[in-house]
Amino acid sequence: MSGPPECVFLLLSTTQFILGVLGNGFIVCVHGRSWLQSRRIPLSDFIVTTLALSRIILLSILFFDSVLAIFSYKVHNEGILMQITDVFWTFTNHLSIWLVTCLNALYCLRIASFSHPTFLWLKWRVSRLVAWMLLGALLLSCASTMSLIHEFKLYSILIGIDATRNMTEHFRAKSEYNVIHVLGTLWNVPPLVVSLTSCFVLILSLGRHTREMQQHGSNAGDPSTEAHERAIKVILSFLFLFLLYFVTFLIAYSSRFLPGNKMIGLIGETMAMFYPTAHTFILILGNSKLKQVFVNVMWRKPPNGTKTSFSP
């Protein structure tokens, strides 16, 4: 660590890591306690709890990566340690993104209201559908991790070419390596499309529900409208933070190929931790059960033991 900027990045990374672990640990404790008491856990709570566990691991990897980048930037960008970190980060990153996608789809199918036969068929089988999505999320996360094998082979070839100082082969291998790495980002497209679709369907459903309420002269602030609005806010916040996360990841990655731009890499590394930390607290405040317990903990109030139903 060479100066004040690195100290600032270390402080920011440590703060985000602690807040993220505390927030996700809170989710695991609340839902874990409810599961131990009732011996059953709703599907939405199971997804959120699994997401919290995956994010604790993801934040740990990002924090380790940030500390390594601050104290030993050369080791961070080269060698077997970089590959091991990439493997664990790829799996937990894609798994957590798919878990949020499954949660968004669950919110959409449970809250949105349409009379189309296809939508009704999906709505009636929402639990089974989301369960299959969870299995698919695990398989796709494994597949995205396995795809790193070819990337690592190209990296080894690139290192060997560097030793021979063959510039023509070096640029060819480096270009192929960069293309493979960029293509790896396409794994993020399917969950992004599903989340966008879920948000779009919820917005259409909210507009349709609002028009029906106005025609009947009813109050627009009914529970269904509030559920629509909460779900849309949660999904939109995920989309915004995920796009920010994706941009910071590209910044951190591009710094490997820009000589003398260690500071750009540190900025990307630090900003990458913002998404899993911030979205965790959005989930807490957007869920009536978690929010109630969170407020009780903050104000040191004893839990009232009331049962809560599903809410985004």
User: How many Å from the N-terminal Cα to the C-terminal Cα in the chain?
Assistant: 43
Question: Residue 20: what pLDDT?
Answer: 94
Q: How confident is the model at residue 178 (pLDDT cuts 50, 70, 90)?
A: low
DSSP codes of every residue in 139-154: HHHHHHHHTHHHHHHH
Indicate whether 175 pLDDT > 60: yes
Q: Which residue type, as a one-letter code, is found at position 140? A: L
Where are the domains positioned within the chain?
A: 4-298
Rounded average pLDDT over 207-232: 72
DSSP codes of every residue in 14-56: HHHHHHHHHHHHHHHHHHHHHHHHHS---HHHHHHHHHHHHHH
- Residue 216's SS3 state is coil
Q: How confident is the model at residue 171 (pLDDT cuts 50, 70, 90)?
A: low
Indicate whether 162 pLDDT > 80: no
Indicate whether 81 pLDDT > 60: yes
Tokens 């996700």 found at:
24
User: Six-digit token pair at 294?
Assistant: 């969170």
* Cα–Cα dist 76/143, whole Å: 24
Q: Find all residues with CB under 8 Å of 311, minimum gap 6, and list them.
A: 227, 230, 287, 288, 289
Q: Do residues 30 and 291 make contact, with C-beta atoms less than 8 angstroms apart?
A: no
Indicate whether 163 pLDDT > 60: no
Say how many C-beta atoms besides its own lie within 10 A of residue 44's C-beta: 20
Rounded average pLDDT over 303-311: 45
Q: Model's pTM, two decimal places? A: 0.83
> Running DSSP on this structure, what letter comes out for residue 300?
T
84-122 confidence digits (pLDDT tens): 888 898 899 999 999 999 988 888 888 888 877 888 888
DSSP codes of every residue in 122-177: HHHTHHHHHHHHHHHHHHHHHHHHHTHHHHHHHHHHHHHHHHHT-HHHHHHHHHHH
Question: Which is nearest to 85 in space by CA: 75, 70, 95?
Answer: 75
Q: Do residues 276 and 238 make contact, with C-beta atoms less than 8 angstroms apart?
A: no
The CATH topology of domain 4-298 is: Rhopdopsin 7-helix transmembrane proteins (1.20.1070)
Q: Do residues 72 and 279 make contact, with C-beta atoms less than 8 angstroms apart?
A: no
Question: Residue 229: what pLDDT?
Answer: 78
Q: Find all residues with CB under 8 Å of 76, minimum gap 6, and list them.
A: 65, 68, 69, 82
* Per-chain mean pLDDT for the chain: 80
Q: Which residue type, as a one-letter code, is found at position 59? A: L
Percentage with pLDDT > 90 across the chain: 19
